[in-house]
Amino acid sequence: MRSTARIARAFAAAGALTLALTACGGGDDDTSTSGDGGGDEVVTVGFVAVGPEGGWRQANEANVQDTFTEEAGFELKYAPATNLDQRSQIDAFTSFVDEGVDVILLSATEGAGWEDSLRRAQEAEIPVILVDRGIEPDDTDLYVTRIAPDNYEVSTSVAEWAVSAFPDGGNYFVLEGPAGVSVVNERNQGWDDTVGSAANLVKIGAQTANWSTEEAKSVFETVLRANNNDIQIVFAQNDEMGLGAAIAVEEAGLTPGVDVQIATIDGTKPALEALSEGRLSFVAEYNPLFGETLLDVVGKVLDGEEVEPYIIVPSETFDSPEAATAALPTRKY
């Protein structure tokens, strides 16, 4: 474990190098960087990641790896979970503490069960920054900050669309992410706090489809059959599940965007393409590309500066085929 002064010097060196590379468009997209970053002061970053999960996750983790490169003065140790298993994440976290990395980035597959790991990092004076996912209970004394878009606000924007699009009411179904994941609870809260007060929107049910297109298709085709197709709205908590619901609607002989309107969260290209075709009706971006913000925050933290406990990444919404068509040429994920 290095002294804060040495880390600060390392970060200053990394920062200067980053500025130089940014000016000349340098950068490296190695998945796992190692070795000496052009000097003897390299900042080691342990990234306890989720790994393969869908388009959003791929964009987010690639952006982090493209930012914390060897050329920018970092050694990024990328540790994706094994089959989304929290045990493998805890093991990687423990290894990073034992190795004495300078900072740990954590995207948690589960909201609960992190207290022991976080206390070990605290005892080793290794700052922990939450990337995207929160932890429960949310004890900011155990980590330095969380960087993510605001799930509550993002899901509230979906709920506000539903209330405005269905002034005469309708039946809705929610396709949730996996139980126990922090963003699922936050998205449910944002939706419920707005839709719950709209008397004429009726919740038919909610079920997890584990972020998966195939599973969402299977779940929603069952829901349509069980309700004689009398569902007007689907709130899918990510794009892949919304696209699965659209396939189920089509296979039931219905038209998505007409018989059933589907709203999703993430803002990946496949979702915006579906919105431009009218197969989805509303897409709320949950911006995954915050590597530069993360870099800035890591620098501040390693320099001993105070940072906010929750750093919100701005995101936008898309509410029409025209909006999606206009955005697609410049989308980065």
**Site residues (CB under 6 A) for ligand AHR?**
53-54, 56-57, 132-133, 183, 211, 238, 265-266, 286
Smallest separation (angstroms) from ligand AHR to the CB of 43:
25
Closest to ligand AHR by CB, 7 or 106? 106
Specify burial of residue 135 (Cβ count, 10 A radius: 0-12, 13-18, 19+).
buried
Nearest of 101, 102, 61 to residue 81 by alpha carbon: 61
Smallest separation (angstroms) from ligand AHR to the CB of 39:
35
Closest to ligand AHR by CB, 57 or 146? 57
Closest to ligand AHR by CB, 70 or 110? 110
Closest to ligand AHR by CB, 114 or 211? 211
Closest to ligand AHR by CB, 56 or 114? 56
Smallest separation (angstroms) from ligand AHR to the CB of 210:
9
Smallest separation (angstroms) from ligand AHR to the CB of 200:
28
Smallest separation (angstroms) from ligand AHR to the CB of 129:
15
